[in-house]
Amino acid sequence: MESKGNINGMIPSEWKLLYENALASEKDILGFRMEGEGAVSFPMGRMRLESTRDPEEGQKANLVYWCPEDFPGDLAISWDFWPIREPGLAIMFLSAKGAGGEDLFDPALAERNGIYDQYHHGDMNAFHISYFRRRWAEERQFHTCNLRKSYGFHLVAQGADPIPGVPDAAGPYRMLIVKQGAALLFAVNEMVLFRWEDDGVTWGPLLGGGKLGFRQMAPLIAEYANLKVYAS
């Protein structure tokens, strides 16, 4: 398998490419699972996500699109991001599992359909990083990236968001998450926005492996490509 080396020391040099997905066509998303009502298209040869519901419906208009693979607890996730239409909000979920350690798609878990409460006070645990927060006026006035840990709605780390608004966005913006042991790092275009270490007590036990998923809050339209996951 391909060896990553490291990007400014952020990814351990011994980690290898575990999963690669160009997200360039319909064949690349076989097995992906949509929660909520959304459309997936590839007008620019990259995965475009958008809600098919009226944003005025609030949380009912939001969506989560899950990669079907299970990934280990120590990993690096990178992907390209282009914001196409705002306002809205983009999130990456990782380490997502049922609250009792079940597979995230276990039919015994409570139903999820894009409403945010189901993901932070529902039948699952996960990290969620919001990295393009343009839905509410206060978010547009002061751009931040937020790391939350669930179960619960625990804001555990925060950093400045360097991505400009859609009129000035060029893209692609290369996103990177590195989770190793209790430590988690988030970077955009190799600029580290925050590092955080979980004590395994204050916000619940350490999270291990699980699934990753793309979340959008309507009416955001965004595109994604070149999803890669590295691990030991």
The verdict on residue 4 lying in a domain is no
The verdict on residue 33 lying in a domain is yes
The verdict on residue 129 lying in a domain is yes
The pLDDT of residue 135 is above 80: no
The verdict on residue 42 lying in a domain is yes
pLDDT tens for 65-121 read 999 999 999 999 999 999 999 999 999 999 999 999 999 999 999 999 999 999 999
The pLDDT of residue 5 is above 60: no
The pLDDT of residue 3 is above 80: no
What sign results for the dihedral spanned by CA atoms 23, 184, 51, 125? Answer: positive
Q: What mean pLDDT, rounded, does the chain reach?
A: 94
Alpha helices in the chain (DSSP H): 117-120, 137-141
How many domains does the chain contain in total?
1
Boundaries of domain holding 199? 16-231
Taking the C-alpha atoms of residue 124 and residue 215, their distance in angstroms, rounded to an integer, is 15
pTM: predicted TM-score of the whole model, two decimal places: 0.95
Q: What is the Cα gyration radius of the chain?
A: 16
The pLDDT of residue 4 is above 50: no
DSSP 147: E
The verdict on residue 24 lying in a domain is yes
CATH of the domain at 207: 2.60.120.200
Alpha helices in 31-167 (DSSP H): 117-120, 137-141
According to the model, what pLDDT value does residue 9 have?
81
